[in-house]
Amino acid sequence: MVHNDLVLRPSNTPVAGHDTMMAVPSSRSPLAAPLGAPLVAMVGGGQLARMTHQAAIALGQNLRILATSADESAAQVTPDVVIGSHTDIDDLRRVAAGAHVLTFDHEQVPTELLEKLVAEGVNVAPPPQALLHAQDKLVMREKLAALGAPVPRYTGIERLDDLDALDAFAGQVDAPLVVKAVRGGYDGRGVRMARDLADARDIARDYLTNGAAVLVEERLALRRELSALVARSPLGQGAAWPVVQTVQRHGICVQVIAPAPGLTGDSAAAAQQLALRLAAELGVVGVLAVELFEATDGTLLVNELAMRPHNSGHWTMDGSRTSQFEQHLRAVLDYPLGDTDAIVPVTVMANVLGAARPPAMSLDERLHHLFARMPDSKVHLYGKAERPGRKVGHLNFLGADPTDLQKLRERAELAAHWLSHAQWTDGWDHHAAGDDAKRKVR
């Protein structure tokens, strides 16, 4: 756990000047906010907003969300919902009306709209000048390089006329290239590995022709990918969770191991301090995920930033004293931050991804069988329709002994595949076993 000096200050006051308006996604009436309870507005109605709502309930807070439809993940469970678009200034004003703070489930809100809200007195956290570094990869790379943070060698190309700069860059780095769209993209989208220089040119030309500037980077020889998750309050208090390892498959995170196995104490501390320094230098308020590359020589380099709760922090819901969702709320409301210590020696998180073809067995029935076999599994489902590769939930498995890590990972993989496909990859027969506790995997 890493904390800066703790200073207390009164909580923020609501933003005045607008009547609260909302669209309720069902026949339920909006719930009246308890007198004095903070109201947090969140742009986005996905699973991150859904899990933030769970944390808000525990803290006696109220969460209002801006969702695109009434069947979005968070809109299913949150009574205070505005149906609208994150690119519409009037919809953003409606969700922010009367709120203590406006924060985010995703980073796709146009900067110019957020600047208008700030000018109108809305408390936006993280502020738009910070959020820009999670929206624009080239701006992020340039800023981090200026701050002396370790980053891969890169060049930015914003016009087709400048495509020849790619050839010059390739000659300088003499390494395979990665071509990324400067804006948008997640879970591997907007990131393409070039086979050679000609392929890199074709990829860049395709992006540029469609109006997307590109970031071209050297492709590093990697040992693995890591994530340093921190939180920062408006007053400058910071807290860091243990650094974790993220396991990627086809550009999508499938598993997180907390803490990262085999990471030296010095490297872990350096990653935490780097993340805390970037949060302070960029003016972040809320949770910041610093995605890191660990090169084969042990060097750590910054890959990307996310200024919101992050997939690499889902393990904190069961494996840490303070979850990332509670901490994000504490931070944006300028509460004292919570203890980030892990409560067990190791936690493994596995994402549940939609199968190529959804199984005939209902997800609820799959859950019954999972609990019969693995009653210690901690399941978090998002209420999302199953589609190929879509994140529909995650599981956490907590281990009392670090030497059990491989077994814990295998169990997490088994459980996630079962929830996705209704198939046990080890051949276990749930019909033959029934609910016999003697047959469950330990």
Residues within the annotated binding site? 137, 180, 217-220, 225, 303-304
Question: Annotated binding site for ATP, which residues?
Answer: 137, 180, 217-220, 225, 303-304
Which residue in 255, 205, 289 sits closest to 394, CA to CA? 255
CA distance 135 to 130: 9
CA distance 243 to 260: 6
CA distance 89 to 321: 38
- 368: tokens are 């019954």
Which residue in 53, 67, 364, 394 sits closest to 252, CA to CA? 394
Dihedral in degrees, nearest 10, Cα atoms 95, 97, 100, 101:
40
Contact partners, residue 74, CB within 8 Å, separation at least 6: 42, 44, 45, 46, 47, 49, 50, 52, 53, 65, 67, 81, 105
- 285: tokens are 């308020």
Contact (CB, 8 A) for 205 and 163 = yes
CB atoms within 10 A of CB 259: 20
Strand partners, 229: 289
Contact (CB, 8 A) for 325 and 52 = yes
